[in-house]
């Protein structure tokens, strides 16, 4: 392990952490502005130009509020749970390639050969934060929220896992950098315009890929507890769900965890289906550091666009009922994802022939 590797890795870790945390705080701001726009209101626009300093003000407000621990709560786990909610969401980004190369250094923190499995493994640990928070509060609504959350996340992990199998049938490798490289050579999975795009089989293959993309995206909605699947925190039924008993910075950590999960979820979707940092016509970082920076910018622009879609959906669709959510997950998405795998496997032998 040489010195340059350690230094560049540390720089990448610090850099991505700063970017993600900034994105989280501005995602909260953007959420409020987007919701206001959709509901024909103004939203926060007082602090700084167009309300751009609102996240800083929010942070100070949350830090200065009284930190209250209920007497009946199990104190150790009550304190542990918000940390467990944030960590997995941020760790996931370690295997996602967020750029090509910059000064010859690959822009991915850890390019492990089990990339997508790492994402799923860490995401499946995210449920502990919510479940333990609900249990340690020792109160009935948070507890119900926690139970709901664990059932929901376990159910949707199945469709999540099955939906990505078509992608890896094509790529033949679990590395996320290989997925991006494949898409540079053969075109994005849901829009194969690059390469031999006149090949009709490739367009036929794009149909199951779009199904995969939709199933994966909807499962990510359920995994991150976003509307229309935010049953663990359904205000009308559970008065706020697993985080009722939390106040000040611990509440903010739950908030941060939810948005960080949304950002890393979008980053994974971008990598798997939307070409990662690739944009047609822009060369990679080996042609000069300016292109390396542009690649990173393209990646985060795509992530931001997906986050906007997340918000758009949240303020457009009503919430599902709990039994509907479960039926949808087990009887619809699971089957669709399963049939989709066979569809791709049936088309795949013909694609190389033409």
Partner 1 sequence: MSPFLFWVFALMTLIFGAAVVVNRNPVASALSLVVSFLGLAALFMSLDAFFVGIIQVLVYAGAVMVLFLFIIMLLNLQAEERRRINWLAAAGGIGVAVILLVQICFVIGDFQAAQQTFPPLAGSTDDVWNIGALLFRNYNLPFQIVGVLVLVATVGVVLLSKREPR
Q: Which residues bind partner 1 (CB under 8 A)?
A: 77, 112-114, 117-118, 120-122, 124-125, 127-128, 131-132, 135, 143, 146-147, 150-151, 153-154, 157, 173-174
Q: Note whether 321 and 230 are within 8 A (CB).
A: no
Shortest spacing between CB 127 and partner 1, in angstroms: 6
- CB count in 10 Å sphere of residue 50: 13
Tell me the closest approach of the beta carbon of residue 114 to partner 1, in angstroms.
5
DSSP character at residue 226: -
Largest CA distance in the chain: 70
Compute the least distance from the CB of residue 262 to partner 1, in Å.
20
Distance CA 225, CA 120 (A): 16
Cβ proximity to partner 1, 40 vs 323, nearer residue: 323
Tokens found for residue 318: 């009503």
Nearest distance in Å: CB 219, partner 1: 15
- Identify the DSSP state of 328: I
Give the three-class secondary structure for 65.
coil
Smallest separation (angstroms) from partner 1 to the CB of 6: 12
Identity of the residue, 313 or 348, whose beta carbon is nearer to partner 1 in the bound complex: 348
CA distance linking residue 80 with residue 65, whole number of Å = 19
Q: Supply angle C-alpha 19, 22, 27, rounded to 5.
A: 120
* Identity of the residue, 153 or 298, whose beta carbon is nearer to partner 1 in the bound complex: 153
Is the CB of 143 or the CB of 254 nearer to partner 1?
143
Q: Which two tokens stand for residue 323?
A: 């039994």
| Residue 318 or 349 with smaller CB distance to partner 1 | 349
- CB of residue 212 vs partner 1: minimum separation in angstroms? 20
Q: Which two tokens stand for residue 2?
A: 């040489």
Q: CB of residue 335 vs partner 1: minimum separation in angstroms? A: 16
Q: Is residue 215 within 8 Å of residue 336, measured between CB atoms?
A: yes
Residue 231 or 303 with smaller CB distance to partner 1: 231
| DSSP state at residue 194 | S
Q: How far is the CB of 143 from partner 1 (least distance, A)?
A: 7
d(CA 78, CA 137): 6
Shortest gap between Cβ of 134 and partner 1 (angstroms)?
A: 8
Nearest residue to 310 (alpha-carbon basis) of 18, 23, 16: 23
CA 141 → CA 63, 98, 223, distances in Å? 25, 39, 20
Which of 154, 345 has the CB closer to partner 1?
Answer: 154
**Least separation, in Å, of the C-beta of 252 and partner 1?**
23
Three-class SS string for 161-225? HHHHHHHHHHHCCCCHHHHHHHHHHHCECCECCCCCCCCHHHHHHHHHHHHHHHHHHHHHHHHCC
Which of 35, 150 has the CB closer to partner 1?
Answer: 150
**Look-up of token digits 């250094």:** 105
DSSP 278: -
> Which C-beta is closer to partner 1: that of 113 or that of 316?
113
The smaller minimum CB distance to partner 1, of residues 23 and 95, is found at: 95
Strands (E), the chain: 101-102, 105-106
């Amino acid at each position: 392990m040489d010195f340059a590797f350690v230094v560049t890795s540390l720089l990448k870790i610090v850099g991505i952490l700063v970017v993600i945390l900034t994105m989280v705080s501005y995602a909260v701001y953007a959420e409020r502005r987007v919701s206001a726009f959709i509901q024909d209101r103004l939203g926060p626009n007082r602090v700084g130009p167009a309300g751009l300093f609102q996240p800083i003000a929010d942070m100070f407000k949350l830090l200065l509020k009284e930190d209250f621990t209920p007497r009946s709560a199990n104190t150790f786990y009550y304190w542990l749970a918000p940390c467990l909610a944030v960590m997995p969401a941020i760790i996931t980004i370690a295997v996602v390639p967020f750029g090509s190369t910059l000064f010859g250094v690959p822009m991915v923190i850890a390019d492990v050969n089990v990339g997508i499995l790492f994402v799923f493994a860490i995401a499946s640990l995210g449920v502990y934060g919510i479940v333990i928070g609900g249990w340690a509060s020792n109160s009935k609504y948070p507890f119900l929220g926690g139970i709901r959350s664990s059932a929901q996340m376990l159910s949707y992990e199945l469709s999540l896992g099955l939906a990505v199998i078509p992608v890896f049938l094509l790529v033949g490798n679990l590395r996320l950098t290989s997925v991006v490289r494949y898409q540079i050579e053969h075109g994005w999975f849901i829009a194969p315009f690059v390469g031999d795009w006149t090949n009709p089989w490739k367009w036929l293959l794009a149909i199951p890929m779009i199904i995969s993309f939709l199933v994966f995206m909807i499962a990510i909605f359920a995994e991150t507890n976003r509307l229309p699947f935010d049953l663990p925190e359904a205000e009308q039924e559970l008065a706020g769900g697993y985080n009722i008993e939390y106040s000040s910075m611990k509440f903010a950590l739950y908030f941060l965890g939810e948005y960080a999960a949304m950002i890393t979820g979008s980053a994974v979707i971008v990598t798997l289906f939307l070409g990662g940092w690739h944009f047609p016509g822009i060369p990679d970082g080996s042609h000069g550091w300016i292109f390396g920076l542009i690649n990173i910018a393209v990646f985060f622009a795509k992530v931001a666009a997906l986050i906007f879609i997340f918000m758009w959906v949240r303020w457009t669709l009503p919430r599902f009922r709990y039994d509907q959510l479960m039926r949808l997950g087990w009887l619809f998405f699971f089957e669709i994802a399963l049939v989709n795998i066979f569809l791709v496997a049936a088309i795949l032998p013909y694609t190389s022939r033409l």
